[in-house]
Chain A
Amino acid sequence: MSQPTKQNESIRRYAASDQSAIVVEGLVKHFGGVKALDGVDLDVKTGSVLGLLGPNGAGKTTAVRVLTTLLKPDSGSVKVAGLDVVDDAAALREQIGLAGQYAAVDENLTGRENLTMVGRLYGMKRREAQARADELLDRFELDEAANRPANTYSGGMRRRLDLADALVAKPAILFLDEPTTGLDPRSRLALWGTIEELVAEGTTVLLTTQYLDEADRLADRIAVIDHGKVVADGTSDELKDRVGGERLEVKLDDDGFNQRAIEILGSMSDEDPFVEGESVKLTVRERRGAIVEAVQKLNEAGIGIDDIGLRRPTLDEVFLSLTGHALETEDDETQEDGK
């Protein structure tokens, strides 16, 4: 069941259909008396990237562990690649790859030995597993370090090896649990590039992150999770729209006209425009035509414009307004949900 060709077929099969790669309905998971997941629904279309965004302890890791058959759900239905996480767990594991928070590689084995071991545990012959290991070492630019024990690797190299481990069987669906937490900015950018390549090849990705820029860049859709519940779900743009309209910012040639501009532009917004810094700012009711309308109004009044623009709310503002608290971004998420 584990020949790469078979895996390619499965990628094609899911890519060709409109079927969702991941469907989660009403997922609940308790740890003792603590409700880690409280009725989570998710739907990830084949070939797309879902970003599961939330602060420490929100339930992201628990969700990934249930979806990858490491934990059994208490209730709800979870299907990955059309397979049930409880009833079809064994078959499901052939369709997925998992790269976790810890960079789970054997530190006393070399990069090549790590990858070969994983290949053989997928059921490949030794020769086949070695060939696949060499392919991946090459792709992840680990070929020079291939015969060094992984405990000599840098943090970024370990993550790459961990991700390579997850890709040994060319899985149709990839789970990445905080793939870049703790990485320096350069390694993070490089890893993002790699993930984008995988997506371009048709892999479905579910990634958890507490970084807004990561979700913004990689994810087609974002599910915001807080206290075990999905509090919002949509594209980055849709989420930003939910927070409120776009903000028009106008900088005048002469800020002596600011008060006059506030009177003139007030009809475009439900709230009163205000001055912040050097600009007059207002949340517009309608994005389309807002700049043209503002320019016309100010022109008619003979007020010169130095700069004008529309600005989207940031995901930070989205998160704050959805959950009532800011997204923490410390790198201390080690044992989010216990074992």
Chain B
Amino acid sequence: MKRLVSDTLVIAERNLVRLPRAPDLLLAFTVQPIMFLLLFVYVFGGAIVTPGYSNYVDFLLPGIIVQNIAFGGFVTAVGLNEDLSKGLIDRFRSLPMSRPAVLAGRTLADVATNALSMTILLVTGLTIGFRFDAGLLEIAGGVVLLLLFGYAFSWVFAWLGLLVSSPESANSVGFIAVFPLTFISSAFVPVDSMPSALQWFAEANPFTVVVDAMRALWLGAPAGNSIWGAFVWTFVIMAIFAPLAVAVYRSAAGGK
């Protein structure tokens, strides 16, 4: 157990140290979220009606942060796939280290990068007019929910990254699988503006549940069951995909 913790920290540190040396990844965490936020607010913002919100940036920011943080895990998909194809997983497996630490350290590093991109989005949002309507406790609760949700999606991406054959396909499969999910939700537009079949899907979509919970926590929007629902969804996703990722890791790495 002690080794699990210390080895996890070593692997997490390794993944964070290498990040600034891969400029494309660093851009994905810094410039890209700012770009999306500004494009949505200033290009679509004027055309989207969001009853109950004083302006579009208030409505959008929780949604775009949730989308962004769900995608934070794609570094895990690409990174694990690279480690596998370049033989680093073999190296790790030949060492007397804790075996789950390879995945645990990888996903832990995502929490740090997710916190970074969340901060960047939040600061940008506050600059262009986003205002909290909540106490410190609710704001902190929202941050915790975001980081947990991002962590759960790291396991989804870990599973995807170990399934596919190359880092490139890890990237595109992850994008194709998750991108529509984030759009057919309440993240960017009110759900009742969609055609009815999509509405049905959007309302059941965990993204909608989490985004609504964020709006409840940060903006005092009516929450219904969505705050509890959001935490439940987060743990359900983790409970399904963490064991799946571990199972695929074991067989992908050589059947042990």
Contacts and interface: CB of A to CB of B under 8 A. Distances in A.
Contacts of A123: 3, 6, 96-97
A44 to B, nearest CB: 18
Contacts of A65: 90, 254
Interface string A10-45: 000000000000000000000000000000000000
Interface stretch (A104-112, A236-244, A310-318): A104-112
Interface stretch (B17-25, B67-75, B108-116, B176-184): B17-25
A100 interface: yes
Given A104-B86, A106-B88, A123-B96, A72 B22 contact: no
Contacts of A121: 7, 10, 92, 95, 97
Contacts of B90: 65, 70, 98, 100, 102, 104
Interface string B167-203: 0000000000000000000000000000000000000
A174 to B, nearest CB: 11
Assign chain A's interface to a size class.
Answer: 35 or more
A102 B95 contact: no
A69 B92 CA distance: 11
A120 interface: yes
Nearest to A93: B96
Nearest to A98: B94
B96 A1 contact: yes
Contacts, number: 81
B141 interface: no
B95 A104 contact: no
A71 to B, nearest CB: 5
A104 B94 CA distance: 12
A279 B87 CA distance: 51
Given A69-B94, A70-B253, A91-B96, 19 more contacts: A65-B254, A69-B256, A72-B255, A93-B96, A98-B94, A100-B91, A101-B87, A102-B87, A104-B87, A104-B88, A105-B88, A108-B22, A109-B14, A109-B17, A109-B18, A118-B91, A121-B10, A121-B97, A339-B252
Interface of B: 3, 6-7, 10, 14, 17-18, 21-22, 84, 86-88, 90-97, 252-256
